[in-house]
């Protein structure tokens, strides 16, 4: 098991695995309303069995090298996470995503965690294009994409039905060469 410090404030990035199901469920209970505004994740784990099944689905993706899931812990408490929703080394593409409970907002946790993921995808795994897809209404998520130096590729109008509303989804991306240039410039 590993833990990666996300700075000097006690925040860590760690794999989020099936044995964390109880902790994951408690985290969602604290943040379900806030997280669920834009992310269906909050609706997928409502009891220990469904939380375990969700985490197991990502353990299976990790074993198949098609996705991964990581938790963000602040002062020893699970407060959010980041993930490779899709991961395709053959085509050199992946889609990243995130969530965070409201009490942890404003500390840069997602941005710092996402930099770790993108660095690994680009430098270790040879990923060429990293995508970020978010509801146009989710300004916090879009601001993270901007902070990561991603480019807005376009909008998929009313493409995502969620909780009875069709959401416009923005597609953002960063290419490996762009990422390396940013990182070399200290960004």
Let me know: does 123 contact 50? Beta carbons within 8 Å: no
pLDDT at residue 39 in the model: 87
Q: What is the pTM for the complete model shown?
A: 0.93
Residues 42-87 have pLDDT tens digits of: 888 999 999 999 999 999 999 999 999 999 999 999 999 999 999 9
pLDDT at residue 91 in the model: 97
pLDDT at residue 68 in the model: 97
Tally of domains in the chain? 1
Domain harbouring 114, CATH code: 3.40.630.30
Instruction: Please list the ranges in the chain whose pLDDT falls under 50.
Output: none
- Name the residue range of residue 40's domain: 4-184
pLDDT at residue 76 in the model: 93
Residue closest to 148 by CA, chosen among 122, 172, 168, 123: 172
Q: What is the dihedral of CA 102, 103, 108, 111, to 10 degrees?
A: -40
Across the chain, what does the average pLDDT equal?
94
CA atoms within 13 A on the CB side of 116: 24
């Amino acid at each position: 098991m590993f833990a990666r410090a996300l700075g000097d404030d006690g925040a860590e990035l760690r794999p989020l695995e099936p044995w964390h199901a109880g902790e994951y469920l408690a985290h969602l209970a604290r943040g379900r309303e806030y997280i669920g505004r834009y992310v269906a994740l909050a609706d997928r784990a409502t009891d220990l069995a469904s939380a375990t099944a969700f985490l197991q689905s990502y353990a299976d993706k990790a074993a198949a090298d098609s996705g991964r899931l990581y938790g963000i812990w602040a002062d020893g408490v699970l407060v959010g996470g980041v993930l490779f929703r899709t991961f395709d080394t053959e085509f050199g593409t992946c889609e990243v995503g995130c969530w965070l409970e409201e009490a942890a907002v404003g500390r840069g946790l997602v941005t710092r965690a996402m930099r770790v993921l993108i660095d690994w995808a680009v430098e270790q795994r040879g990923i060429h294009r990293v995508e970020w897809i978010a509801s146009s209404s989710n300004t916090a998520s879009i601001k993270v994409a901007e902070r990561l130096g991603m480019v807005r590729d376009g909008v998929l109008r009313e493409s995502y039905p969620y909780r009875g509303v069709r959401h416009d989804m923005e597609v953002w991306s960063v290419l490996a060469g762009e990422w390396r240039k940013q990182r070399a410039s200290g960004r």
